[in-house]
């Protein structure tokens, strides 16, 4: 039998009894509760660092330099307001600009502050600004830019004005010197004026409102005047164009030699010398004479076999102050030069070419009128014949001139330009309004289009001959009034005017392309013949049946035929004229060195006129 | 970290299997020093970035800690138990002048459950004990910034948290008196793992230092305290146990 081990109960005052246990548990609970309360007492930072800075007192010593000196400022362009702020030991926090109470953005570099004031149109604005400067106390607020001094500017009135550039700069000659003057610039941001010669680029800076261009010797050119602002930017303040006051070079002939003449310049004291340059078009310009400022003419002998006086002459006025010459080439110098090539009449469309000259119409910009001129071969002059003329046509040999005016047709006699007959075309047709392009023969027979009808009319006797229904077409009439022709694209149609009828005679179709107006006509001195140019062939055909009488091969471009000399002016390429005989088709003369323009070239009495220039044919083969 | 976790669970399992002879409820109170080098660095960076001349007036100073515990004496030399400790400290960057005030306050606290294994030896009337404490500390750092200019006040607040494992060895001198024991404690708190502080409402947001490291709460430091414990229960033992 196993007996259990005896257990010794230890005598311990701490052995628990139930009531004591409960008390202990309560004690433990209170203990834990106290711990929890203690645990809520965590670390709390309490230290504070007090800085003993002092509050600001009084105004900050700040200097402001500003370029707005008056309450009202005139503005002519976008301009900068510039300001220098010196806050001493303090610091500018920011500057706020207000245009019409709207804040605008400015810039600054160091102590220089700037704001661009720009306006789209002339109008009035209000402008002010505010400057904030720190207090400099070193306080917390100061360091955070939250404390400082505030400066309020006054309010400026900005008046936007328009610049009258074309009127601002004027030039006049005073005591043989060219003096410029201009109104004072009364806006802000001004540093100086700057005068610039556009052609040379020479500039002159000054602060006065007038300027004498001492180097001026009469050249033409453009001059600009600028206002330079403090940033060095140029603003155009005035502009003027100088008309040429150089000696006017003229050309003439004396004993078959060319003579160049010119007048004395009022600026001759500033001209060192005259230099005459010559070019025969194929070669570059060469200096042929150096003359003193007192000379007024130069005779140039011509070579006997040269192709006329086909020369260009330049007279170059060498300025006295040679330092202004910026280029050794006289033609690229700042100085304008005079260019002369035997001048001829300027014409666009010509009519009535005859031995005595030819007619042309030109618009006169001064009078605003279309004027009929005549170039007179004998006198080598251009004279005006009459005003307000359009679609004037001449009879084949120039006896009569037909001038349409509304529904009237005026027939002039070309001897003294008096009206022979004046016909009211309303009597032909009530629908007649436009004269189209009526043509008249040397005996007063007229053909014209109206209301899809062709009329033949005897102007001298004031009676209608006949009419024929047909579509409108460009007309040409023979010198004797027996025939007229029209074209339909590539076909030439010839009609006969009988005493009371109009009869179709024949037609000819051009094999390659359209027939142009200048490619065909009746021969003025041989009305039974008509010519047609089918490049490069010139056909001379019978007016009655269009049978070919002659077929001549010419150059590929036909200008016109001078029936006074029976010469045909053609061109083989862009630089060579070829002149043929109308009867034989033989090449008479070949002229190299003149570019041809089909619409602006005609031959007359051994002279070729082209674009304002005249070339005399001196050596005929 | 892995080694620490194994040790922690080993101690727990031993405690569960052993039969205690004495149950003591204790409370320790003392001063702790806290390393907090990362948070001090944050203060330095903040101080350098301020446009005004502020000062650090509190810089994670020594502060009180509290530690209640429940210890089981399984023999006259060995005690095992559990404890919970609470630490807090903080800092302040401050500037006050006539124009306003600036303060950047950091308050950090930790709440740490732990297990304790204690080995004691009698020396005259005292007992000298060597304590080993391993626990998990849950840290909460509360950052408050205040700027007052005149009457305008701006405040910001951010809370960051982390959880670390620590080990705290300590030397204790115990003096038993009736049912009480009075302790003097000198220990050293070592953070074994240092988890990054992350924002309380978004764990992906961390505090970054100037060298791109992430900031951590480091509670390492000396612990100097005094404790008192009370014997709640004491069990009779067999002669065989007494013969031992």
Shortest distance between the Cα of A2 and any Cα of chain B, in A, equals 17
Mutate to test the interface with A, among B51, B97, B138, B143 (most CBs of A within 10 A): B97
Please answer yes or no on whether A45 and B105 come within 8 Å at the CB atom.
Answer: yes
* pLDDT number for residue A117: 81
Distance CA B107, CA B88 (A): 7
* pLDDT number for residue A495: 96
* pLDDT number for residue B15: 45
* pLDDT number for residue A361: 81
Q: Strand (E) positions, chain B?
A: 22-32, 55-59, 63-73, 78-97, 100-123, 126-149, 152-177, 180-191, 198-199, 202-206, 221-234
- Taking contacts as CB-CB distances below 8 angstroms, the residues of chain B near A52 are 97
- Residues B101-128: what's their mean pLDDT? 94
Torsion A553-A556-A560-A565 (CA) sign: negative
Question: What's the number of CA atoms in the CB half-sphere (13 Å) around residue A571?
Answer: 21
In this predicted model, which residue has the larger pLDDT, B227 or A349? B227
Q: How far is CA A375 from CA A410, A418, A549, A568, B75, in A?
A: 22, 19, 34, 20, 148
Shortest distance between the Cα of A211 and any Cα of chain B, in A, equals 58
* A322 pLDDT above the threshold of 70: no
- Taking contacts as CB-CB distances below 8 angstroms, the residues of chain B near A141 are 99-100, 149-150
| Residue B97: burial class (beta carbons within 10 Å; 0-12, 13-18, 19+) | buried
Q: Which of A355, A399, A346 is nearest to A373 (CA)?
A: A346
* B10 pLDDT above the threshold of 60: no
- Residues A563-587: what's their mean pLDDT? 89
* pLDDT number for residue A150: 85
Question: What's the number of CA atoms in the CB half-sphere (13 Å) around residue A211?
Answer: 26
Least confident range from A597-611, B50-64, B129-143: namely A597-611
* pLDDT number for residue B11: 46
* B104 pLDDT above the threshold of 70: yes
Least confident range from A483-487, B39-43, B122-126, B223-227: namely B122-126
Residue in A with minimal Cα distance to B140: A42
Q: Which of B96, B179, B242 sits opposite A49 (nearest CB)?
A: B96
A9 — pLDDT class (breaks 50, 70, 90): very low
Q: How far is CA A318 from CA A174, A215, A272, A337, A397, in A?
A: 22, 11, 6, 10, 51
* A174 pLDDT above the threshold of 60: yes
Of all residues in chain A, the percent with pLDDT exceeding 70 is 80
* A91 pLDDT above the threshold of 90: no
Least confident range from A155-159, A268-272, A472-476, A489-493: namely A268-272
Distance CA A333, CA A199 (A): 9
* A167 pLDDT above the threshold of 70: yes
CA end-to-end span of chain A: 175
- Residues A30-42: what's their mean pLDDT? 68
Please answer yes or no on whether A48 and B150 come within 8 Å at the CB atom.
Answer: no
Mutate to test the interface with B, among A47, A55, A135 (most CBs of B within 10 A): A47
Residue in B with minimal Cα distance to A48: B94
Shortest distance between the Cα of A10 and any Cα of chain B, in A, equals 6
* pLDDT number for residue B118: 94
* pLDDT number for residue A146: 85
* pLDDT number for residue A385: 86
Which residues of A, range 50-69, sit inside 8 Å of B by Cβ?
50-55
Please answer yes or no on whether A35 and B63 come within 8 Å at the CB atom.
Answer: no
Of all residues in chain B, the percent with pLDDT exceeding 90 is 67
Helix (H, G, I), strand (E, B) or coil at A598: helix
Q: Which of A28, A50, A139 sits opposite B25 (nearest CB)?
A: A28
* A258 pLDDT above the threshold of 80: no
A112 — pLDDT class (breaks 50, 70, 90): confident
Residues B145 and B103: beta-carbon distance below 8 Å: yes
Residue in A with minimal Cα distance to B63: A43
Residues B195 and B10: beta-carbon distance below 8 Å: no
Q: Mean of the per-residue pLDDT values for chain A?
A: 81
The two structure tokens encoding residue A415: 């001897």
Q: Which of B52, B66, B86 sits opposite A140 (nearest CB)?
A: B52
* pLDDT number for residue A164: 87
In this predicted model, which residue has the larger pLDDT, A337 or B196? B196
Q: Which of A404, A310, A321 is nearest to A618 (CA)?
A: A310
Which residue's entry shows tokens 């300590």? B170
- Residues A103-122: what's their mean pLDDT? 84
Please answer yes or no on whether A142 and B99 come within 8 Å at the CB atom.
Answer: yes
Q: Which of A39, A49, A137 sits opposite B95 (nearest CB)?
A: A49
- Taking contacts as CB-CB distances below 8 angstroms, the residues of chain A near B54 are 49
Please answer yes or no on whether A45 and B57 come within 8 Å at the CB atom.
Answer: yes
- Residues A15-24: what's their mean pLDDT? 64
β-pairing, A234-242 vs A148-152, is unpaired
Q: Is the CB of residue A26 less than 8 Å away from at least one CB of chain B? A: no
ipTM of the complex: 0.83
Contacts of A528 (CB under 8 A, 6+ apart): A478, A542, A543, A544
A19 — pLDDT class (breaks 50, 70, 90): low
pLDDT tens per residue across span B201-210: 888 899 888 8
Q: Tally DSSP H helices, then E strands, for chain A.
A: 3, 51
* A587 pLDDT above the threshold of 60: yes
The two structure tokens encoding residue B28: 């320790």
* A487 pLDDT above the threshold of 80: yes
Q: Is the CB of residue A32 less than 8 Å away from at least one CB of chain B? A: yes
Distance CA A215, CA A203 (A): 12
In this predicted model, which residue has the larger pLDDT, B75 or B113? B113
* A297 pLDDT above the threshold of 50: yes
Please answer yes or no on whether A144 and B51 come within 8 Å at the CB atom.
Answer: yes
- Taking contacts as CB-CB distances below 8 angstroms, the residues of chain A near B150 are 141
- Taking contacts as CB-CB distances below 8 angstroms, the residues of chain A near B64 are 41
Residues A292 and A243: beta-carbon distance below 8 Å: no
* pLDDT number for residue A255: 65
pLDDT tens per residue across span A240-251: 988 777 787 777
* pLDDT number for residue A345: 67
Plot region of A566 (φ>0 → left; ψ -120 to 50 → alpha; else → beta): left
- Residues A38-51: what's their mean pLDDT? 84
Shortest distance between the Cα of B66 and any Cα of chain A, in A, equals 7
* pLDDT number for residue A169: 92
Please answer yes or no on whether B236 and A140 come within 8 Å at the CB atom.
Answer: no
pTM listed for this prediction: 0.46
Q: Mean of the per-residue pLDDT values for chain B?
A: 87
* A13 pLDDT above the threshold of 60: no
Residues A407 and A424: beta-carbon distance below 8 Å: yes
Q: Peptide bond preceding A536: is omega within 30 degrees of 0, i.e. cis? A: yes
- Residues A24-30: what's their mean pLDDT? 70
Q: Which of B54, B147, B234 sits opposite A12 (nearest CB)?
A: B234
* pLDDT number for residue A329: 36
């Amino acid at each position: 039998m196993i007996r259990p081990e005896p257990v010794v109960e230890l005598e311990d005052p701490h052995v628990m009894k139930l009531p004591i246990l409960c008390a202990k548990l309560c004690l433990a609970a209170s203990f834990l509760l106290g711990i929890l309360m203690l645990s809520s007492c965590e670390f709390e930072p309490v230290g504070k660092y007090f800085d003993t800075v002092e509050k600001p007192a009084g105004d900050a010593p700040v200097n402001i330099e500003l370029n707005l000196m008056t309450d009202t400022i005139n503005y002519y362009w976008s301009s900068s307001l510039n300001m220098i702020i010196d806050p001493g030991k303090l610091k500018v926090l920011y500057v706020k600009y207000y245009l019409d109470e709207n804040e605008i953005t400015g810039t600054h570099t160091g102590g220089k502050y700037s704001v661009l004031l720009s306006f789209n149109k002339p109008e009035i604005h209000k402008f002010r600004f505010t400057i904030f400067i720190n207090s400099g106390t070193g306080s917390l607020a100061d360091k955070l830019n939250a404390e400082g001094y505030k400066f309020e500017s006054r309010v400026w009135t900005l008046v936007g004005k328009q610049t009258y550039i074309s009127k601002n700069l004027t030039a006049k000659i005073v005591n043989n010197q060219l003096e410029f003057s201009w109104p004072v610039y009364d806006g802000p941001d001004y540093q100086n004026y700057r005068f610039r010669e556009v052609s040379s680029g020479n500039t002159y800076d000054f602060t006065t409102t007038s300027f004498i261009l001492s180097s001026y010797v009469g050249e033409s050119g453009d001059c600009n005047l600028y206002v330079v602002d403090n940033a060095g930017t140029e603003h155009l303040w005035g502009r003027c164009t100088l008309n040429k006051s150089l000696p006017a070079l003229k050309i003439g002939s004396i004993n078959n030699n060319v003579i160049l003449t010119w007048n004395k310049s009022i600026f001759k004291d500033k001209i060192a010398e005259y230099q005459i340059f010559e070019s025969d078009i194929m070669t570059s310009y060469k200096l042929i004479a150096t003359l003193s400022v007192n000379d007024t003419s130069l005779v140039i002998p011509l070579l006997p076999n040269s192709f006329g006086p086909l020369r260009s002459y330049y007279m170059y006025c060498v300025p006295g102050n040679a330092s202004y010459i910026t280029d050794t080439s006289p033609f690229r110098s700042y100085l304008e030069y005079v260019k002369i090539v035997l001048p001829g009449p300027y014409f666009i469309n010509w009519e009535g070419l005859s031995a005595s000259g030819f007619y042309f119409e030109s618009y006169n910009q001064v009078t605003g009128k279309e004027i009929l001129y005549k170039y007179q071969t004998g006198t080598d002059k251009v004279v005006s014949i009459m005003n307000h003329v359009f679609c004037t046509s001449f009879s084949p040999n120039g006896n009569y001139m037909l001038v349409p005016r509304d529904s009237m047709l005026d027939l002039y006699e070309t001897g003294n330009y008096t009206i022979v007959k004046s016909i009211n075309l309303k009597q032909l047709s009530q629908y007649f309004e436009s004269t189209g392009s009526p043509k008249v023969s040397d005996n007063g027979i007229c053909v014209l289009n109206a209301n899809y009808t062709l009329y033949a009319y005897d102007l001298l006797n004031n009676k209608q001959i006949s009419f024929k229904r047909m579509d409108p077409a460009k007309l040409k009439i023979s010198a004797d009034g027996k025939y007229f022709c029209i074209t339909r694209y590539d076909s030439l149609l010839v009609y006969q005017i009988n005493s009371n009828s109009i009869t179709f005679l024949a037609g000819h179709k051009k094999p390659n392309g359209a027939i142009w107006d200048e490619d065909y006509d009746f021969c003025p001195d041989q009305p039974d013949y008509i010519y047609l140019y089918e490049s490069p062939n010139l056909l001379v055909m019978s007016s009655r049946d269009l049978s070919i009488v002659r077929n001549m091969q010419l150059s590929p471009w036909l200008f016109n035929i001078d029936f006074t000399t029976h010469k045909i002016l053609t061109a083989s390429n862009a630089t060579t004229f070829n002149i043929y005989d109308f009867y034989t088709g033989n090449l008479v003369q070949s002229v190299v060195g003149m570019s041809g323009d089909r619409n602006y070239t005609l031959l007359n009495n051994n002279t070729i006129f082209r674009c304002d220039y005249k070339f005399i044919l001196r050596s005929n083969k | 970290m892995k080694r620490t976790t194994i040790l922690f669970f080993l101690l727990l399992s031993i405690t569960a299997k052993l039969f205690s002879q004495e149950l003591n409820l204790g409370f320790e109170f003392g001063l702790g020093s806290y390393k907090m080098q990362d948070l001090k660095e944050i203060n330095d960076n903040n101080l350098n970035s301020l446009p005004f001349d502020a000062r650090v007036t509190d810089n994670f100073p020594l502060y009180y800690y509290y530690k209640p515990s429940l210890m089981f004496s399984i023999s006259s030399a060995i005690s095992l138990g559990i404890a919970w400790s609470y630490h807090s400290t903080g800092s302040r960057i401050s500037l006050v002048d006539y124009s306003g005030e600036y303060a950047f306050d950091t308050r950090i606290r930790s709440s740490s459950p732990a297990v304790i294994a204690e080995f004691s030896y009698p020396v005259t009337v005292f007992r000298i004990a060597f304590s080993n404490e391993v626990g998990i500390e849950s840290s909460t750092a509360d950052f408050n910034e205040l700027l007052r200019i005149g009457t305008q006040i701006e405040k910001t607040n951010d809370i960051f948290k982390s959880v670390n494992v620590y080990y705290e060895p300590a030397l204790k001198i115990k003096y038993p008196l009736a049912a009480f024991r009075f302790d003097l404690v000198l220990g050293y708190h070592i953070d074994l793992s240092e988890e990054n502080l992350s924002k309380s409402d978004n764990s992906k947001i961390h505090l970054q230092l100037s060298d791109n490291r992430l900031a951590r709460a480091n509670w390492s430091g000396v612990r100097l305290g005094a404790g008192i414990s009370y014997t709640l229960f004491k069990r009779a033992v067999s002669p065989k146990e007494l013969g031992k």
